[in-house]
Structure 1
Amino acid sequence: MTDSSPAPDSPPEFLDPPEAAGELGRLGPYRVIELLGQGGMGHVYRAQDTRLQRTVALKVMNERFAKSPNSRKRIVEEARSMAAVHHDNVATLFEVGQRNGTPFLAMELLHGATLEQLLQSGRRFTTDEIITIADQVALGLEAAHDRGIIHRDIKPANLWIQSPSERVKILDFGLAVAGSMVQGMARGDSVVGTPGYLSPEQARNETVDERTDLYSLGVVLYEMFAGKVPLLAPNTPTQLVNILCREPLPLSQRQRDGVPVEVPEPLERLIMRLLSKEPGARYETVGHFRKALQAVSEEIQLALQAELAIQIDPGAGSASGSVSPDAANVSVAAKPTGTRPMGMFVAGGLAVAVLIGGGVWWMLRDGTPEEKAEVASIAEEPPAVLAAGLGALQLTGNVVSDPAVPVGEVARFRLQLTNQAESAETDPRVQYSQAGQVARITTFLQQEGQLKRKAPAFPRAFSPKQLPAPGETQSIEIQFLTTNMALEPFDVIFELQSPAGASVDSIVSRFEIVENLQSGDLLGFNTIRTRAGKGADTFVRRGSTEDFGKQPALVVHRSGEKQGNVWSIAFLRFDLSQLDPPTGSESDSVSSVLQRIDRSVLLLSMAAESHPGAGRITVHGWPSDLRTPDGVGTQDWQETGAGHLTFENSPVPPDMDGLIPLGELEFDNSGEGLKDQPDGIRFISKALDDFLRSSPGVVTLVLSQEGWLDDPTRFNSRDRLPELAPGLAVRWKTD
């Protein structure tokens, strides 16, 4: 995103024509200025948000990928993953949308280069710089992992080094996976990631957790020292075999440009541990890794200080107390490191360094017993965290959750952790203040009649500082995806554990996985449009007697005094007799056939110039026995001419009395991302199913705006395009 690439010969088709000089075109509210770069999935442009007057980077998917529903879904998942993480070491996402069928992301515009670009340019990083980069990447990953998100594609191309601050930003959460989504990536699905940086569990297509990101980070650190990834092969299949079967050559045995790689032994140990084949041999969490990294940095600094040769005149400190004139001349010889520190973990000052490097030994040799005990305590390991010492921590209150979660969606739970310690002696924050991890909450799922099993969400870990203070309660959100879970009830068990896995407390909730009609494929459904049979669609506007039945859009609007108290309401009529009846019921009456409706979905598509944001629509059913003041019924109204609906003669004033409430339809049209998406908006409710079952065969649905919006909501009507007309999808019950 630094040096721009040459602009294409002609603007891409997904861009609207330019409206001013100096721009390639328009993408919704964005002025697209220039092409910054391109990759396998898409292009990145410099653009200006005309609403907030800020410069952004627009990541736009390639047209050939945009044609694939899976690719469009992936870029949306990337956006959701990035938007969920707010941290200085993660690139900020402003907006996700679609325009002319092309998904895009609006992100902060970064200055600098990727780590890959810097490595390819020949830049060599010092040990201090590598440690700093590792720590910043770990901080960003820790923020993502706290949200239940695994990146799964950590590599130099996805690590941005800002200029001039050299702050690291993690890019591209396009392969990120939230919580239990890893279950859906188990055996049978494709291997996902970049071959050189894949973890062994990714190569085996197994369940992954946060330790996968640690493995990939280890590959990056190895490459920064050696100039190449640890296991390199000429093709992907061989690369996967190497990752699974070969051990990487230790860094100290590598050569770079014919010269042995110089790497401090403690840091080499840390990197090689990250590259362990089995996740259990790596660090348990990113927090544990950061603690180990800090210890390694300090060990390296102590080793450097130990190499200082301090020569003091033997005459100094004589019994007479006189000091030789040369005693103050201290000769210090230090091995050149060639490092340019980035300000991370560096000991502060030569005097302190000498005290740490040589003074500890001096005190242990000649110090008082008290001094010896104090210094010896520095090297003591922190006490092991025992379940018995965590008795003051309890999971309290009721778990707040959605009792029904559509399969493939995120199950969210909120619970409370309380610290009931009455003194410092029983407060785990004090007792285990030196521990990296004090407690964790592990999630289990249990189906009726079966043993509990660990849920795909990895444990939520707590350091001493992350625990609530005595007498306080901390609200905690745990979430995981329900991909590939059975459509049945589950008990979800949240168990408070010690770091070793011993149980301290637990709390149980219950939820049910239901089918996903909101975004899943409508397999087995029959669809009719307002174009079929006696179908029709129109809208009415308060204060107008005009017939709007032949307009290309249906307007639903409600605004206040500043906009003139506008109120527009849409009417959709469907002829259910046009549905293909279930097998064996061809000769049955319409009413008996409709009794066999299992589920139904109202399908709408957003029209141009609709409200560019979130909104809610209330859906009502017009009962067959309710007639307008003019005597018009649900089956009789016309779009135009005699019998056409107006606001005053429709069944809506003054407060929709007499209509049957069916529920609320929510949408988010940010950046006009829903524009002209066929059936891009769905409304599902059991009340809609019941309304259709009890109907005489021709039904009218009424749409009104919930809340006040300055801009109207516009849905495509049957007069726009056949595939964009309002639809009603119905599935029959099976015998």
Structure 2
Amino acid sequence: MTAETPSYEFLEPPKREGEIGRLGPYRVFRQLGRGGMGEVFQAVDSRLKRNVALKVMNKKVAGTKHSRRRFVDEARSMAAIHHENVVIIFEVGVKNETPFMAMEMLKGKTLLQWKQSGRLFSDEEIIEMGMQMSRGLAAAHQCGIVHRDIKPANIWIEETTGRVKILDFGLALAGVSIDSLSGRGSVVGSPGYLSPEQARDDPLDDRSDLYSLGVVLYELCVGKLPSTAKSMPGHLIAILEHDPPSILELNPDIKPALADVIHCLLSKEARDRPSNAVHLEEMLEYAAQAPYEQELEPLEPLDEEVAEVADAGTGSIQPAAASISITPTDSGKPGAASQTSSNLSGSLNVSGKSTTASKRSAKKKRRSRKAATAPADVAHGDSTQVNGLKWPLVIAALSLLLVSPVIYWLVTRPDVVPNDPLPETPITQRPTAPQVTLAMLKPLSLTAATVESDSVQLGNAVQCTVTLKNEAQDASGDPRVATAKARDAAVLAVYAKIKGGDKKRMATQKLRPRDLPAPGREMQRTIPVFTSGLEPKSCELIFELQTPKAELVSSTKAAIEIVAPKRP
């Protein structure tokens, strides 16, 4: 080892040129990165000749035998997450009293690296990334794992496919041992992306990750974090006390529906956020289909009447003025309506766009109408004329109160009210995806399946590859065209069957229309299969292509040997 080559006490000496050391069967070549939970190295699994990213946990995690055992158990649970938007974990173990994880080696960049390069993202790209991250988080949350550190540095964008993958579940692996990792009462996570629950050091659930994801999406929209400070205490106060600036005020080109979803994610209380990651994906999908212009238009006649009475000093009408004014008027202007609107601003802000211009236009109309209709002596403040109008106005008001019930009955009686309900507004309409049928997918078939190794140690993952072929002749029978408007076109499911036993579902992968091969072409899909829960015996892996409703389209098989783990 040369003087320039760094040494690591947990690595065994190198045996070949180019290595900096070895960790069990892994040949370690160089350090890729370092974080609070450990270091990541480029390595090769000498058994399978496979490139891996080897994450070695630091001494805080590996301090005691109990902490090492718990890390391995929880890491294996995490490795059971089979999803294309979560990094694949091939193996988890302990070597030289050092816990490690062997993960897939990815090509591409982190979202942080893309941001630092000056890359800007469109609304469509932000929504698509948000939906993919939602799916990955949903898969983790279903396994009882909260990530705790969602940030651009932990979001990977693959080079060729553009697929998003969530990285580094290091803090998730810390689990309940946060105090032992960083001191009693300390806050674990990245300051700018902490949820209010993390800032308070409260127990966390899935919605903490959703808040952090909201921070990432906010940053992509406006180019900065929703709250900033020069110190950690300042960060915590900003997260707990300060509302983020409006996205649409900072970037008016963002879709209002997308801005609404992000501000919902940034709610201070977890109960006010989407209930789970699946719900969030549905919200983002709706935002993708919503039009850019969804501004609430004020009702001009009602707005004018209320504003006139409020301008005259009738305080009892102030709440009605607030319910119509969506954004606050300029400060310092007279009028009770302006003051009340400022106090309640944002409560009806669906689109987030300012209506100041329309209000100013309405005020001009009101002023011109008053100048044209008011008598000269009233316009100049003659109180005698006002007193002369007092009793006629009172009589007119009493008459209106007496005839109002009659008018209400005439309008609402059954023969006047239409039978059909009013149509829903575009804001509440939810498009329904067409149902995918077996006939639509008939041209698709699974032609082959391979596994990277004939045997795998029980509890580890094995990489499987299936070949999917589209036998359609042209676009008229192409499943991609038939399912183009569907959210999911098909499902790729993997089952394991021990001789004499029932088959057990091991992994699934959803296929969107764009994931299917073109007519007359075939493509390969890779699926990691984690072998926990099986027996150390010969095993048959069954790969099935199914409709989203689990109807069988095609299937193929592969054999593998499950071997018992070696005792340390």
Where is the helix percentage greater, Structure 1 or Structure 2?
2
**TM-score, scaled relative to structure 1:** 0.39
Report which of the two has the higher share of strand: 1
Which of the two has higher C-alpha Rg?
A: 1
TM-score (norm 2): 0.49
